[in-house]
Structure formats: structure tokens, C-alpha cells
Amino acid sequence: MNSSAKPKRGYLNQDFKLFHIYDKRAMDFDSHSHDFHKIIICLSGSVTYIIEGKTYILSPWDILLVPKDMIHHSKTDSSLAYERIVLFIDSEYLDTRDDSYTLSNCFRKSAEYGKCLFHADGAARSDISSAADELEKALSFSENYGSLLLQQAAFIRLLVYINRLAANDDGLEGFVSDKRLENIISYINEHFADELSVGALAQKFYMSRSYLMHKFKAVTGGSVYGYINQKRLTSALAMLRKGASASDAAKECGFSDYTVFYRSFKKMYGFSPGEVISGKQ
């Protein structure tokens, strides 16, 4: 599905992309983030998602929203077959679909309040299931007459139902979190451009350096430094897309050494800051 002429970035080079996945194997994905929104509709099995320090355990017909730039990773249980529908959505495309109704509201709510998990029952389950089936079918016949219109219509229908679910539900309290670690992550999110170190964070939050590193890794799946670095890079990417120079983006996002910024950026995204500025990515 690709209705716009502008080049897209990362590994989502379309306005939206749907995957229907079924497997039965243990998986533990590294901590990462995307510059697009993601929806996971769990159909069967059990999966654990950790989103910025909060642990969500999904059951069938739980719907997880992962707003763009939120750091997350997932683990699956090999004893259960895990079937899910995954939808990647370009945030800019989603905004272009907004008129009197804001289809991106569900992601804004999840990002603002940190509640990403919703459960579909009854009519909501029926509506979301039929809309997802319709979208999957429409995407499989991409060459037919009017297929683009049908894909857009099915996509909008699905997003309307998910927004209804999110609007009528405060979000399941179906997550586990460590309050102290939650506070540390919130602090990092607000101060990632400052000079941050594990030692300084440990001192500020009254814990030992080794305990902080161990706890952070256990809960988030990544290191403190890795988390800070990802936050800096996602912010730098956003600045570059808005027209900032590479040196200004590096400095504003907390990189004192441009070479370190360049190498980290290229490693994380697979393309250089210059390619973003030139419009190639």
C-alpha cells in the first residue's frame, strides 16, 4: 500500500503494512524503536511486551499500541502457538487522513498516559476482526480495479474501531512496572540531551550503580546507555526530517562528539544523517 509520492524511510516504505504471522518458537527481540506506529492484535498464544519499562502480557484479543519512537522489545513462549496481526503505520500518512476525526488519537493517548494495552470483547472484537480481515483481503488483491480505494477504506475502518476501543477504555492495568525504574525512565525521557551517566542516575535515585544497571537490563531488555542513545537518535532523526543540520541535531540531542553521533546513527538506522537531509531516506 503506497498512495503518496514522497519517499519513505526505514524499513516501512509504505503508508501502512499488514503482517499476519503464526509461529511456535521462543523469540526474544532486542530492545528497539520505530519511527512509525505499530499495532499488535493477539489472536492466540501468549507474548510479553516491554514498552519503556512497563511489562504487558498479551492474551487472545488483547490489542497493543506501540506509538512511534517508544522503545520496546518482546518475548514469546515456545509452548504456545502465537498468532497475531501486526500493522505498521506511517505517522505522517495517518495525520493526512485526519479531518473532523483524529485517527492518531489512540497513539497519542497511549504515549501520553503510558497505557498501551486494550482488550476487545463482544461487538468491539467482531468489528475489529472483520475490519482486519477486510484489510488483509484488500491488500492481497493489489492489482485489481479500485484496490487502492478499498485498501484505504478498510484501513480507515480498522483504525476507527481501534480508536473507539481506546476512547471507551482507560487501558488495561495489565502491566507490571517498578515505580522507581518508571521514574528513572521518565527522567531520561525528559533529560536525554543532558550529560547523563549511570553513576549520576544511580546517585539521583538513591541506588547503587550495579543495581541500577542490573534492574534496568532485567526490566527493559537493554542497557541504560543503550536506552539513552536510542532516545537521542530518535530525537535527532526527527530534527533532521524537520530541516536541522546534522551538527545541530547531534549537539541538541546530547552528542558532544559528531563522529560518535554519525557512527551511532548509521548503525541504528542503516543510513547516514546526510541521506536524511538530502531526502534519500
Cα–Cα nearest to 40, from 65, 13, 19, 60: 65
For residues 9 and 91, the answer to whether their CB atoms sit within 8 Å is no
Within a domain: 42: yes
pLDDT in tens, 239-277: 998 999 999 999 999 999 999 999 999 998 889 999 999
* Positions of E strands within 145-234: 175-176
**Per the structure, how many domains does the chain have?**
2
Same domain? 168 vs 204:
no
Percent of the chain with pLDDT over 90: 59
Query: Structural domain of residue 51, as residue ranges?
Result: 16-175
Same domain? 160 vs 186:
no
Same domain? 171 vs 184:
no
Confidence band of 8 (pLDDT split at 50, 70, 90): very low
Q: Where is the domain boundary, 153, 175, 197?
A: 175
pTM above 0.95, yes or no: no
CB-based contacts of 179, cutoff 8 Å, min separation 6: none
Element (H, E) at 108: helix 105-113
Same domain? 38 vs 161:
yes
Within a domain: 255: yes
What is the chain's length? Answer: 281
C-alpha cell at 31: 530492545
Q: Where is the domain boundary, 175, 194, 226?
A: 175
C-alpha cell at 4: 503518496
Helix (H, G, I), strand (E, B) or coil at 119: strand
Same domain? 168 vs 182:
no
Same domain? 24 vs 148:
yes
Same domain? 157 vs 225:
no
Of residues 169 and 149, which shows the higher confidence score? Answer: 149
| Stretch among 26-30, 62-66, 87-91, 178-182 having the lowest mean pLDDT | 26-30
pLDDT in tens, 204-223: 999 999 999 999 988 888 89
Residue 3 has pLDDT above 50, yes or no: no
Within a domain: 28: yes
Q: How many CA atoms lie within 13 A of 108 on its CB side?
A: 9
Q: Compute the distance between CA of residue 135 and CA of residue 231 in angstroms, rounded to an integer.
A: 33
